Amino acid sequence: EVQLLESGGGLVQPGGSLRLSCATSGFTFSVHAMTWVRQAPGKGLEWVSTISQSGSSTFFADSVKGRFTISRDNSKDTLYLQMNNLRAEDTAVYYCAKVNSGWWFFESWGQGTLVTVSS
Amino acid sequence: EIVMTQSPATLSLSPGERATLSCRASQSVSSNLAWYQHKPGQAPRLLIHGASTRATGIPARFSGSGSGTEFTLTISSLQSEDFVVYYCQQHNSWPLTFGGGTKVQIK
């Protein structure tokens, strides 16, 4: 069974940093691209970032480009999202998801972790 | 950026009725369109990919159609657990984008 478990969320002040983790199991992590998607309170889903299987290619939404970094450790089957210079509008539940092998849609999702940016 | 527009925002129907949800792309995404179901407090679930292919384990009452810029998700006979929010997502080009969602609620 595919499992994705996000952690690292919490309350942070504007301008602060936070690192999210997504521990995975139940599939061969190293052969799948991975992604982060977020949902702000009362809003819809927003794609944030995607990383290729090896980590050599990364993609970011304009809203987080230059502030967020995505990475992965294939030896630990874990995905990361480093979030710097956080803003109030980054407040959201952050989901990690497993990307399909051939196309950029999301086969399995975690339960999410809440990030709140507030003073 | 490809803008995805879902309609209606809210759909009020009774159990057993047929639900038709629409998703429109601002430019062609070919058949590279996925649908997700999202229950509050839970992980989103993939329903449909490639516009019309049901994901593993998805009941046959869910079907998808369309190509280019116009897409439809149909739920043939609503069950109680289907009254939640649905999102479309284009996976044709970067940045990947979602529609704003359609909430299916009990009438």
Span B57-92, pLDDT tens digits: 999 999 999 999 999 999 999 999 999 999 999 999
Phi-psi region at A112: left, alpha or beta (left = phi > 0; alpha = psi -120 to 50): left
Q: Do strands B97-98 and B4-7 pair parallel, antiparallel, or not at all (unpaired)?
A: unpaired
Residue pLDDT, tens place only, A28-51:
999 999 999 999 999 999 999 999
Closest CA to B98 of B81, B85, B84, B83: B85
Q: Does A23 touch chain B (CB under 8 A)?
A: no
Please list every residue in chain B whose beta carbon sits closer than 8 Å to the beta carbon of residue A48: none
**pLDDT of A78 over the 90 cut:** yes
The answer to whether A115 touches A92, Cβ cutoff 8 Å, is: yes
Q: Does A103 touch chain B (CB under 8 A)?
A: yes
Report, as an integer, the average pLDDT of A6-34.
Answer: 97
Sign of torsion over alpha carbons B91, A96, A102, A72: positive
Q: Any alpha helices (H) in chain B, and if so which ranges?
A: none
The nearest alpha carbon in chain B to A44 belongs to: B100
What's residue B40's pLDDT?
85
Q: Which two tokens stand for residue B85?
A: 């929010």
- Cβ neighbors of B38 (< 8 A, separation 6 or more) are A45, B44, B45, B84, B85, B86, B87, B101
Nearest 10 degrees: Cα torsion A101, B89, A25, B56 = -80
Q: Does A27 touch chain B (CB under 8 A)?
A: no
Give CA–CA dist A30/A2, Å, rounded.
14
What's residue A115's pLDDT?
98
Q: Is the CB of B32 less than 8 angstroms away from the CB of A103? A: yes
The answer to whether A91 touches A116, Cβ cutoff 8 Å, is: yes
Report, as an integer, the average pLDDT of A4-9.
Answer: 98
Q: Mind telling me how many Å the CA of B90 is from chain A's nearest CA?
A: 8
Give CA–CA dist A106/A34, Å, rounded.
8
Q: Do strands A58-60 and B45-49 pair parallel, antiparallel, or not at all (unpaired)?
A: unpaired
Please list every residue in chain B whose beta carbon sits closer than 8 Å to the beta carbon of residue A59: 94-95
Task: Considering only residues B56 and A102, tell me which one the structure prediction assigns the higher pLDDT.
Answer: B56
Q: Is the CB of A61 less than 8 angstroms away from the CB of B95? A: yes
**Which of B43, B89, B100 lies closest to A105 in CB terms?**
B89
**pLDDT of A13 over the 90 cut:** yes
Interface test with B, best of A38, A45, A70 (most B CBs within 10 A): A45
**Quick one: how far is CA A78 from the chain centroid?**
11
What confidence tier does A52 reach under pLDDT thresholds 50, 70, 90? very high
The answer to whether A108 touches A96, Cβ cutoff 8 Å, is: no
Max Cα distance, chain B (Å): 38
At residue B92, φ and ψ (nearest 5 deg) are: -100, -35
Q: Mind telling me how many Å the CA of A15 is from chain B's nearest CA?
A: 25
Q: Is the CB of A45 less than 8 angstroms away from the CB of B38? A: yes
